[in-house]
Amino acid sequence: MTDRSRQWTAALAVIGDEILSGRTQDKNVAQVATWLNEQGIRLAEVRIVPDEPARIGVAVNELRAAYDYLFTTGGIGPTHDDITVDAIAAAFGVPVIVHPEARAILEDYYRDRPGGLTEARLRMARVPEGAELIPNPTSGAPGVKIENVYIMAGVPYIAASMLEALSGKLEGGKPIVSVTVGARAPESDVADLLRETEAAHPGVAIGSYPFFRDGRYGANFVIRSEDGDLARSTSEDLADRLREAGFEPVAGGL
């Protein structure tokens, strides 16, 4: 039975030299965060680590112990720099095996493709002993689940299809509801007003995210709560207070 009253948490380990070098703009943090929230699970920490087995191992062992779930992205393809499965197997202290079902999926997927199931492609059937598979409706090679660790592809659209396959299958709590109000206000002009609004509504957190656009300052104020009605009534109160202070509130944000 899912205990919806407690807060469920997850961490994400992004494995990839290409992110740390600045070459590739990460897209997985935002998409995993958004998906987790829909599952009623809070993304509580992200670590981006290089393609080094020892560094992956430390991150995986710390994060899987600290949170309910750990997701990883990256490093599960067919090439020599795809070392995530080996690193995580080592972190768990188990050998790497070829998963029979993964092998069958790959045999089927590559049957009519040029080259067939090469040795390189067969690498993608390797899993830590004791692991299960995460379906990959997009490109054949499955993700891997071992205990509370979900090992996913780094290519964002493939990771997205693995998340889709996991939707509704994880135990979670209440999703966080967030309501956004924007205003063309320099955030320093409304700092007191924000603090007072948050203090007046226990159970909400208000974040302030300033921007400078079209030559003018503005900010979006995000009200978050597990209680959707409370988030909405707080946003209305905040809009009233902004209006009184001379700033036109914009529901949904700017």
Of 25-33, 95-103, 127-135, 166-174: span binding a copy of itself (CB under 8 A): 25-33
Q: Taking each helix axis from N to C terminus, what angle separates 191-200 and 228-244, rounded to the nearest 10 degrees?
A: 140
Tokens 């995986």 belong to which residue? 60
Exactly one of 17, 107, 227, 236 binds a copy of itself (CB under 8 A); that residue is 17
25 touches a copy of itself by CB under 8 A: yes
55 touches a copy of itself by CB under 8 A: yes
Give the SS3 label for residue 44: strand
76 touches a copy of itself by CB under 8 A: no
81 touches a copy of itself by CB under 8 A: yes
Q: How far is the CB of 179 from a copy of itself (least distance, A)?
A: 11
Of 76-84, 128-136, 161-169, 225-233: span binding a copy of itself (CB under 8 A): 76-84
Q: Give the nearer residue to a copy of itself in terms of CB position, either 129 or 167.
A: 167
164 touches a copy of itself by CB under 8 A: no
Exactly one of 6, 24, 95, 167 binds a copy of itself (CB under 8 A); that residue is 24
Q: Which of 195, 185, 180, 182 is nearest to 245 (CA)?
A: 185
Bridge partners, 180 (sequence order): 222
Q: What are phi and psi of 62, to 5 degrees?
A: -70, -45
96 touches a copy of itself by CB under 8 A: no
* Site residues (CB under 8 A) for a copy of itself, limited to 227-246: none
Q: Which of 24, 5, 20, 29 is nearest to 152 (CA)?
A: 29
Q: Which long-range contacts (CB under 8 A, 24 or more apart) does 46-50 make?
A: 46/11, 46/12, 46/13, 46/14, 47/11, 47/12, 47/13, 47/14, 48/13, 48/14, 48/16, 48/19, 48/20, 49/13, 49/14, 49/15, 49/20, 50/15, 50/16, 50/17, 50/20
For 194-212, give the DSSP string.
HHHHHHHSTT-EEEEEEEE
Binding mask 175-204 for a copy of itself (x = CB under 8 A): -x-x-------xxxxxxx-xx--x------
Q: Give the nearer residue to a copy of itself in terms of CB position, either 130 or 135.
A: 135
Exactly one of 22, 93, 202, 215 binds a copy of itself (CB under 8 A); that residue is 22
23 touches a copy of itself by CB under 8 A: yes
